[in-house]
Structure 1
């Protein structure tokens, strides 16, 4: 229940996101620096993430596992309306596009 409450709030800490997504804090900082994910700063100047960042990180990890570069991932995610987090339907289309690219 406490985890569910945290996921519905728009103020996930970088440590929580790292633990939940299975990546290091430094990886999240790297992804943010590359423009793959976004955070905001609270009044104490600490990074905070919206819950949808967990799905975005999962998509990034899956794409990397397929051999897609971070730059290609960034370009593809930028095509989504308002740079939203990919839905299941989006992921299906993205992965098919990337698979065709890899097959070439």
Structure 2
């Protein structure tokens, strides 16, 4: 199953081939020469988006928990949007809703 994502203001489209749930740990994507790995974990009935950005020296920067989503695909797409914004030096997008305690 392919998913085409075009970030606003960006002429590039990412083609994501979604592996079965739980097998996305090997999915490394590149944007402007920077490597990143979006990840989705299931928490109860929701999906949590995270992403790691890899530096050339091998160190990784995690952007933490980016948001909670109703489905895996939405979480994965949002993680990619956050990674590309971070790499481009743009503000990170806001998740579709905020959780309150």
Query: TM-score with structure 1 length normalisation?
Result: 0.34
Greater relative contact order (Cα 8 A, min sep 6): structure 1 or 2?
1
Q: Please tell me whether Structure 1 or Structure 2 has the larger radius of gyration of its CA atoms.
A: 1
Query: TM-score with structure 2 length normalisation?
Result: 0.34
